[in-house]
């Protein structure tokens, strides 16, 4: 963690170069990852919704670390924003719920401004848009742990916290958590 490196720099046991070393979060840092996908049908709703989800990830992390077989739940420091251009409502529903759609058009977006990366041609941009932010969390198991790990309670509590938001609308907002094994 950066705070640990800064502490070492201040005590003289490390140099500033260590603070700027590349991370290995996605390149072998963990065997298991959780993806937290926050989707919205509006740009305005997406900015607030993804911010809410990001603020609740700390709670999810603490709940996961209470599972006796999980040693560490480490969230990546930022989310990845995209806009999906959908041909129809069925495709939009699938994307919002974390399913892959082979014919979809997708590009990076800045949720603050709504500006896209220009990766999709104007004529390919369908009328139905789904705004998405994906957050990642690395999971480290207690050494010697084997078998299935039940994180159902932690996930249910996380979903409940997110859906208690006063502006939550299940027609507009969705959050989906998936497990990825390296």
The pLDDT tens digits of the residues spanning 102-142 come to: 877 999 999 988 899 888 988 888 789 999 999 999 998 88
Res 137: pLDDT: 94
Can you name the CATH fold of 24-181? Answer: Alpha-Beta Plaits (3.30.70)
What is the pLDDT at residue 163?
Answer: 96
| pLDDT tens-digit map of 47-62 | 999 999 999 999 999 9
Distances (CA, A) of 119 to 20, 73, 122: 30, 33, 9
The vertex-156 CA angle with 153 and 157, nearest 5°, equals 85
Percent of the chain with pLDDT over 90: 56
Please give the structure tokens belonging to residue 165: 């938001």
pTM: 0.82
Query: Among candidates 106, 159, 164, 130, which has minimal Cα distance to 40?
Result: 130
The confidence score (pLDDT) of residue 122 equals 86
Position 123 scores a pLDDT of: 85
The candidate with the shortest Cα–Cα distance to 75, out of 90, 89, 60, is 60
């Amino acid at each position: 963690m950066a705070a640990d490196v800064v502490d070492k720099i201040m005590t003289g046991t490390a140099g500033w170069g260590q603070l700027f070393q590349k991370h290995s979060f996605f390149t072998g840092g963990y065997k298991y990852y959780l993806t937290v996908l926050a989707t919205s049908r509006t740009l305005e709703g997406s900015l607030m919704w993804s911010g809410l989800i990001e603020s609740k990830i700390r709670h999810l992390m603490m709940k996961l670390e209470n599972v006796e077989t999980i040693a560490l739940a480490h969230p990546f420091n930022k989310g990845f924003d995209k806009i999906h251009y959908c041909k129809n409502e069925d495709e939009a529903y699938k994307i919002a719920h974390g399913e892959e759609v082979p014919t979809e058009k997708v590009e990076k977006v800045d949720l603050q401004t709504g500006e896209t990366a220009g990766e999709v041609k104007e004529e390919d941009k369908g009328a139905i848009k789904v705004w998405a932010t994906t957050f990642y969390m690395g999971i480290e198991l207690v050494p010697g742990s084997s078998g299935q790990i039940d994180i159902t309670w932690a996930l249910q509590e996380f979903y409940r916290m997110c859906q208690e938001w006063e502006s939550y609308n299940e027609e507009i907002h969705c959050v989906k958590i998936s497990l990825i094994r390296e």
